[in-house]
Amino acid sequence: MVSDSRRDFLKFAGAAASLAMLPPGIRAALATPAARVTGTIQDVQHVVILMQENRSFDHYLGALRGVRGFDDPRPISLPGGATVWRQPKSNGQTVLPFRLSTDSTAAQCLADIDHSWKGSHTRWKDYNAWIATKGPMCMGHFTRADLPYYYALADAFTVCDAYYCSHHGPTNPNRMHLFAGTSGMTVGDYGAQAVNNADDGNWTADMSKDKATFAGHRWTTYAERLQNAGIGWRVYQEYDNYGDNSLPYFANFRNLDRNSELYKRGRAWVEGSNAGNASSARGEHLIAAFAKDVREGTLPAVSWIVPSYIMSEHPAAPPAYGESLTSRLLDALVANPAVWSKTVFIINYDENGGFFDHLPPPLPPINSGLGKSTVDTATENYNGVPVGLGIRVPMFVVSPWSKGGWVNSQVFDHTSVLRFLEARFGVAEPNISAWRRAVAGDLSTALDFAGADPVWPALPDTSGHMARADQTCKLPVPTAPKQPQMPRQESGQRPARALPYELHTHGRIEASSGRYWLDFANTGVAGVGYTVYAANRSDGPWFYTLTPGTELSDYWSAKTYSQGKYDLAVHGPNGYLRAFKGDLLKATAAGGANPELRVEYDVANERLLLRLRNTGTGACRVTLRPNHYSSAAPRSYPLAAGATVDDTWTLAASAHWYDFSLTSDHDSTYLRRCAGHMETGRPSVSDPAIGA
């Protein structure tokens, strides 16, 4: 367990700051305990959702302490063996992630880059199309020096480092997943809006500017479901909403009576905002309306915040403007402790905006060539291309129930926000696909409704952010460095939320067919998506979705396609890895050794159970070596033909993280690697190999 003492907390936070240095609103937030009545999600009375624009996780938070960023010890490999960090250019050179300095360049006002629908699974399957498709600037990233408020927000509350946008493509389909649970496919609408930005061109809140020729979408939004259930809701927007309010694209929100509830809650813009001041406003009218409702105790149960373009963080809008907006929204919330103590404030990003992230998303195996699933994937298939999930994006959960600088590494997407609302208010969203419900959680693991409030670090003052950004935008335009060096993350760990995963992958040779089999199992309480890469083949990767309590198996014809060689890597959530490499012809030859390693969890005794078995006809000696988290000496085991040896791998001293490899003297290419985190149902710490 992570201690709540000030000393231990500041060890994780990495810096101490006097509470007296905080702005009054933040001091109030830190002093306000959660309104615990039942100790459950039912204590939440308000959910505020701010979806910003077009930033990837690594682009914003890859350098943050204690998240799966630039120091990830288990990144995927690209064809040819280079790590995912070395994205290829057409001339054979590579581009590494590089810092976008807001001190010396105009990185705050970085130009927009391509972020359209991926179009082709083939183009993106190897995850090496970033430079060819987006250009070298997609590899640029920020640090704490550039995003001080967001980094401090992560240190104070909870950051989610496995939150993916819903769709590998642009804004509108992603936002429809947030507002309606789908971009159309689960309700049978496979029109252009399912994957592209299809709207009427009215990027304001003014209904009179709606184009009559645009046929609004016909499926039901979640706002309508809340309305029908008698749950209060509202969209807070100024006259300029950059087209980011998805509701006007639905038929039921067009040609409305201006006295109707749907108009007043979903289409009206806030007082003080108008066409004349739209270009000069900096969120002040939106903040004033929001703060008034908080102050007067009239904040609805569910609020969607839709900023103007300049405040949205969409390139070339400055990130500092978004930090200012977020800070002012939080100030407004904590100004009324009675409201703040019952609120969950969610900050996410609609899509990655073309910016690189190193963790490929789970994908639905929409046909047998892409893998297998224990749950239906039909409504994730757009003309033979798997739609989601999309690229990883930043996600913060800000609440009295999320304080403490935690990281949550459960897989989420935009529909997870609706599922959180489902869990709290009991209003179902049937538009969410069965596959998304399987692979993405409902955000409940990001909050602790029963625990104590820890001590706090400071949040920076953002009052000068916008003015400074305006000045730095006059600096030279940033460029990719000619001699790139791999960036590093901040040192140290952060407390980690317990996850609902218990993952298993075991390998076996089938001598009669020359196949190598992988057996997947999910004994956890949440669904999981595995991805398998074959380093010695040009096809793949393959995707396997398993609901709780299910198993799947699949094979690779090593004898037929690769002269008996196999080289498979299985990736899963939170750094899970199983690697299988070797020569099955050598293992199945007369007198050949065929060792396998089976790993099981022994949670009660804080250890792994290892079973080494040689099903071959010859003897071998296998050696087990730690890669991370342990300084133990290598262990060597003689395995006679048909022999089995049992051993254990203790995890108590490593916060239940493990990473070790098995080699064998019978085959110089033989490798088994097992890495990940054993979940215990209790909080832990982030990956110790990150920021070490």
What are the pLDDT digits (tens) for 168-222? 999 999 999 999 999 999 999 999 999 999 999 999 999 999 999 999 999 999 9
Mean per-residue pLDDT, 222-239: 99
**Per-residue pLDDT band at 28 (split at 50, 70, 90):** low
pLDDT of 30 over the 90 cut: no
Q: What is the pLDDT of residue 22?
A: 44
| Amino acid sitting at position 59 | H
State the pTM of this model. 0.95
- d(C-alpha 544, C-alpha 460), whole Å: 43
Cβ atoms of residues 600 and 523 within 8 Å:
no
Collapsing DSSP states into helix, strand and coil, what is residue 68? Answer: coil
Average pLDDT for the chain: 94
Cβ atoms of residues 482 and 42 within 8 Å:
no
CA geometry: angle 221, 45, 219, nearest 5 deg: 5
Q: What is the pLDDT of residue 9?
A: 32
pLDDT of 5 over the 50 cut: no
632: DSSP letter: P
Residue 483 CB-half CA count within 13 A: 0
Percent with pLDDT over 90 in the chain: 90
Q: What is the pLDDT of residue 27?
A: 54
What are the pLDDT digits (tens) for 74-111? 999 999 999 999 999 999 899 999 999 999 999 999 99
pLDDT of 12 over the 50 cut: no
pLDDT of 523 over the 90 cut: yes
Q: What is the pLDDT of residue 454?
A: 54
pLDDT of 674 over the 70 cut: yes
What are the pLDDT digits (tens) for 552-598? 999 999 999 999 999 999 999 999 999 999 999 999 999 999 999 99
Q: What is the pLDDT of residue 13?
A: 38
Q: What is the pLDDT of residue 21?
A: 46
- d(C-alpha 106, C-alpha 104), whole Å: 7
What are the pLDDT digits (tens) for 448-492? 998 756 555 568 889 899 999 999 999 999 999 988 899 999 999
Mean per-residue pLDDT, 359-370: 97
pLDDT of 6 over the 50 cut: no
**191: which 2 tokens?**
């029109």
Cβ atoms of residues 212 and 179 within 8 Å:
no
pLDDT of 262 over the 90 cut: yes
Integer CA distances (angstroms), 65 to 1, 14, 86, 536, 678, in order: 19, 9, 22, 34, 21
Q: What is the pLDDT of residue 175?
A: 98
Cβ atoms of residues 523 and 502 within 8 Å:
yes
CA geometry: angle 386, 540, 362, nearest 5 deg: 45
The residue among 307 and 692 whose pLDDT is bigger is 307
- d(C-alpha 649, C-alpha 350), whole Å: 42
From 409, 412, 410, 407, select the one nearest 440 (Cα to Cα). Answer: 412
Beta carbons within 10 angstroms of residue 5's beta carbon: 11
Mean per-residue pLDDT, 376-381: 97
Q: What is the pLDDT of residue 34?
A: 79
What are the pLDDT digits (tens) for 623-671? 999 999 999 999 999 999 999 999 999 999 999 999 999 999 999 999 9
pLDDT of 691 over the 90 cut: yes
Q: What is the pLDDT of residue 483?
A: 87
**Per-residue pLDDT band at 692 (split at 50, 70, 90):** confident
**Per-residue pLDDT band at 120 (split at 50, 70, 90):** confident
Cβ atoms of residues 520 and 504 within 8 Å:
yes
**Per-residue pLDDT band at 36 (split at 50, 70, 90):** confident
**360: which 2 tokens?**
């490929």
pLDDT of 524 over the 80 cut: yes
Q: What is the dihedral of CA 130, 134, 137, 138, to 10 degrees?
A: -50
CATH 3.40.720.10 fits 52-473, yes or no: yes
What are the pLDDT digits (tens) for 389-438? 999 999 999 999 999 999 999 999 999 999 999 999 999 999 999 999 99
- d(C-alpha 83, C-alpha 80), whole Å: 9
pLDDT of 2 over the 90 cut: no
Domain ranges, ordered by start, for the chain: 52-473, 498-685
Mean per-residue pLDDT, 151-178: 96
pLDDT of 345 over the 80 cut: yes
- d(C-alpha 615, C-alpha 115), whole Å: 51
- d(C-alpha 426, C-alpha 419), whole Å: 10
